[in-house]
Amino acid sequence: EERFADDPALQVELLGTVSGIYRELGEEDRHKALVARRLAVAQRYPGRFETAKIEALFDEVGDSYDASRVKQVDALMQQADELLHQAGLDDSALRARWWLTRGQTMGSGPAQLNASKAAFEAAINLYENVAPRDPGHVTALIELGVTYFYRGDNRGAIVLYQRALKADETVDGRDDGEMQTIYGNLGIAYMNVGEFVPAVSAYQKVVELADRTYGKQHKDYWYPAANHARVLHLSGERLRADAMYEALIGVMPDPATNLDAMVQTESYGASLSAEGRPELALRWLEPAER
């Protein structure tokens, strides 16, 4: 506001970037305060920064969405829809984001899954036409894959996750957290169809990304590491799987003091039980039960 007082476009851009960082950090008060400052700058120049209000509405939808606020979310989406149309942005990346957000707020019932699928397909088609390198393109492909997964179509989900990986190769600003989601979803889908070799490979990618991004002491590393060990165990590589479980337990709290750690020790216990080693399995299953 001091150095760029005569450059409102740069102010709007920087405030948007910094507010997004605080949103990702979970510092909601700071995020909302910066969004308000951004809108205040934009509103001083009517007709020049029309997208700022629309982007703020999308953020508000993401912050407020849950099953008890469906009407509030619908009203926000309707408002964003009208602003997009008024601004002549129906063939833009922002409209594609509208379809993506619409799909994400549909719910998970059978009818809602069909509606979500249609919304994600609309988002993907628009991204491919107007903004193929937008990060939202990758997100929309992942979300569409998830709808296939929930409908029991693991093969269809795998195709979409592979498309997401392909799109991610050229995206502007790759998100390693989202890459973990893609590879993790791939691992689950491959495991569900009994293809353990590509499942192991997918989980290996997730573990590498999680280690580099969060470190072994972080809960977001424990979950993919346990899944990697479990799929190895299911594929018959028991010694390697047991060694990975033991290494994971070595970096988690002992005794496990939170749900994230308990879920992973329970996974180890289930694998030991399947091996016919019940006494050792109970060592990990009983604390989880308690």
Average predicted confidence (pLDDT) for the chain: 90
Packing angle, helices 110-130 and 135-150, rounded to 10: 150
127-131, 251-255, 258-262: which is most confident: 127-131
Q: What angle do CA 150, 155, 158 make, to 5 degrees?
A: 85
User: What does the pLDDT read at residue 174?
Assistant: 79
Kindly report the pTM of this predicted structure.
Answer: 0.83
User: What does the pLDDT read at residue 288?
Assistant: 81
User: What does the pLDDT read at residue 108?
Assistant: 67
pLDDT at residue 236 greater than cutoff 60: yes
Rounded-to-integer distance, Cα 74 and Cα 80, Å: 10
Q: What confidence category does residue 155 fall into, taking pLDDT thresholds of 50, 70 and 90?
A: very high
User: What does the pLDDT read at residue 5?
Assistant: 86
pLDDT in tens, 40-53: 998 888 888 888 88
pLDDT in tens, 61-111: 876 666 567 788 889 999 999 999 998 999 999 999 999 999 998 876 777
